[in-house]
Amino acid sequence: MKTRLTLILAALMVSVNLSFAQQDEECMNNLQIFSEFAKKKNYNDAYQPWMAVRTKCPKFNRAIYQYGERILDDKIQNSNGAEKVAFINDLLLLWDQSLEYYPQYYKKGKVYGDKAQLMYDYKKELKLDNETVYKAFDKAYTEDKDNFDNPKGLYTYFSVMVDLFDEKKRAVQEMFDKYDDLNDKVETEVIKYSGLLNPLVEKEEAGKTLTDKEPSYKKSYESYLNAYDQISSGMERKLGDRANCEVLIPLYERDFEQYKTDDVWLKRSVNRMYAKECTDDPLYIKLVKAYDAAAPSSDTKVFVADLLMKDGKESEAFKYLEQAYSLETDPIKKANRAVKIGITLKNKGRYAQARTYLENSLRLNPSNGRPHLLIASMYASSANSCGDTNFNKRAVFWLAAQEAEKAGRLDPTLRGLSEQSKTSYEAKAPSKSEIFQEGNSGETINISCWIGRSIKVPNV
């Protein structure tokens, strides 16, 4: 009896193993078939074998989810009506399954963000309201903010918040808070990608050759920085007049007593008032003083300096600006601080000091080309006063053009403006005929005054 039972169990084990082996073989065959079709972008023929593997062996291979997204996206693009809705819902399900079966490869922030974006893109087809879509984005942000970093998703998240405000389903302070939250997130991402890009920029500027993979990395980092720059300006446009002085001043007046020691609230209030040019109102002064008292920092010193400038106390103001720069420790933030100080000095006509801060910024964050454009504009503004002859004065525009060209070479977000500025400056420089008449082709001109640089006359 015991021997018979053992034989029966052995037979069952063989049967089970054979069943799994057959299943594995079937799934492997279908995996190979749909993979080959998908690689050739023949998603229609890939669909059936892909569905067979996904249904029978959902944990069989990560390719089910990598190619599955493309297959379903193709189905969505090439279908209509109820069939289209079914494919959209199936893609939402696929993303959930990717997290369930391969959590080591898929992050909640990215998956939830992609789901929310798809829900927004097909809001009409899915019959969804803004509240439902917003909650989907909010899930990505609150559950895994670090990995919710898609620029388009971040912008859409804020855009839906503004739509809810317009529908009177969100308070104005909630909208401002979300704007500030996402601005902070964007700043974090810009710092991250600038830190990755800068060594590659410095390597190229030093005349060294990038490795085989580094050009693609560089292009990717530049693309992300360009996207984050666009969504920052896009969020500001979306906010628009919903954050004008008529809205901000009564709001912050109402809440001041409650939050007058809350450094986060004060920082955001001061930043918003400053950005919307509400700085002439007495409330702004009250906010700045409270912010500096609650949490003295690099930021607060800049705002105090701004107040001193308004009172005509420039010398005292510049001391605060120097403190603001020295207090900042993060290289990218310090570079940004140097730019703001440089702009303040530039606006006051202190070009030499402004250039020092702008050049410091370039050393800290060489992939940000904006300082080059600012330096170029100061050179151009000084052309009439830097030079002993008309020719030498106009030669300053060559220097300005060179500086403007650097901006576009280093910073892809500024290529259009860089080329436009360069062309404008070159048009104001001496022409080929004037160089010929002057007889100084190829010579070096030393530019005097605060500029203290030299420029080579183009060969003609």
Mean pLDDT of 378-388: 91
Q: Is 106 left (phi over 0), alpha (psi -120 to 50) or beta?
A: beta
Higher-confidence residue: 15 or 28?
28
Mean pLDDT of 367-376: 96
3-state DSSP assignment of residue 249: helix
Per the listing, tokens 């005292």 go with 316
Distance (Å, whole) CA 345 – CA 371:
13
pLDDT surpasses 70 at 17: no
> Residue 128: which of 89, 168, 80 has the closest Cα?
89
pLDDT of residue 298: 86
Instruction: Write out pLDDT tens, residues 23-58.
Output: 589 999 999 999 999 999 999 999 999 999 999 999
pLDDT surpasses 50 at 59: yes
Instruction: Write out pLDDT tens, residues 412-430.
Output: 889 999 999 999 999 999 9
The confidence band for 314, taking pLDDT boundaries of 50, 70 and 90, is confident
Return the axis-axis angle of helices 108-121 and 151-166, rounded to nearest 10°.
50
Distance (Å, whole) CA 388 – CA 373:
25
* C-alpha torsion sign, points 87, 91, 92, 96: positive
The confidence band for 13, taking pLDDT boundaries of 50, 70 and 90, is very low
- Sequential DSSP letters for 298-352: HHHHHHHHHHHHHTT-HHHHHHHHHHHHHH--SHHHHHHHHHHHHHHHHHTT-HH
pLDDT surpasses 80 at 22: no
Supply angle C-alpha 33, 38, 43, rounded to 5.
105
pLDDT of residue 129: 97
Instruction: Say whether 298-368 and 107-243 share the same fold.
Output: yes
Q: In this prediction, what percent of the chain has a pLDDT beyond 90?
A: 78
Burial letters 300-321, b for 16+ CB under 10 A, else e = bbbbbbbbbbeeeeeeebbebb
Mean pLDDT of the chain: 91
Distance (Å, whole) CA 363 – CA 370:
13
Distance (Å, whole) CA 287 – CA 262:
11
Backbone φ and ψ for 145, nearest 5 degrees, come out as: -60, -35
pLDDT of residue 362: 96
Distance (Å, whole) CA 80 – CA 100:
29
pLDDT of residue 302: 85
The confidence band for 312, taking pLDDT boundaries of 50, 70 and 90, is confident
Q: In this prediction, what percent of the chain has a pLDDT beyond 70?
A: 95
State the CB neighbour count (10 A cutoff) for residue 422: 21
pLDDT surpasses 80 at 16: no
pLDDT of residue 74: 97
Those residues whose C-beta lies under 8 Å from the C-beta of residue 28, and which sit 6 or more positions away, are: 60
Mean pLDDT of 228-249: 92
Per the listing, tokens 């628009």 go with 240
Mean pLDDT of 277-293: 93
pLDDT of residue 369: 94
Higher-confidence residue: 16 or 288?
288
pLDDT of residue 14: 36
Q: Any idea which of 46-55, 222-231, 256-265, 295-304 has the lowest mean pLDDT?
A: 295-304
* C-alpha torsion sign, points 418, 419, 422, 424: negative
Domain-wise residue ranges, the chain: 1-103, 107-243, 246-295, 298-368, 379-460
pLDDT of residue 24: 83
> Residue 110: which of 87, 83, 140, 68 has the closest Cα?
140
Instruction: Write out pLDDT tens, residues 100-159.
Output: 999 999 999 999 999 999 999 999 999 999 999 999 999 999 999 999 999 999 999 999
Distance (Å, whole) CA 95 – CA 111:
6
Q: Which two tokens stand for residue 82?
A: 């109820």
Mean pLDDT of 247-271: 94
| Assigned CATH topology for domain 107-243 | 1.25.40
3-state DSSP assignment of residue 9: helix
pLDDT surpasses 90 at 387: no
Mean pLDDT of 336-341: 91
Distance (Å, whole) CA 119 – CA 133:
6
pLDDT of residue 291: 94
The confidence band for 4, taking pLDDT boundaries of 50, 70 and 90, is low
Superfamily of domain 298-368: Tetratricopeptide repeat domain (1.25.40.10)
Mean pLDDT of 170-190: 94
User: Are the C-beta atoms of residues 413 and 434 closer than 8 Å to each other?
Assistant: no
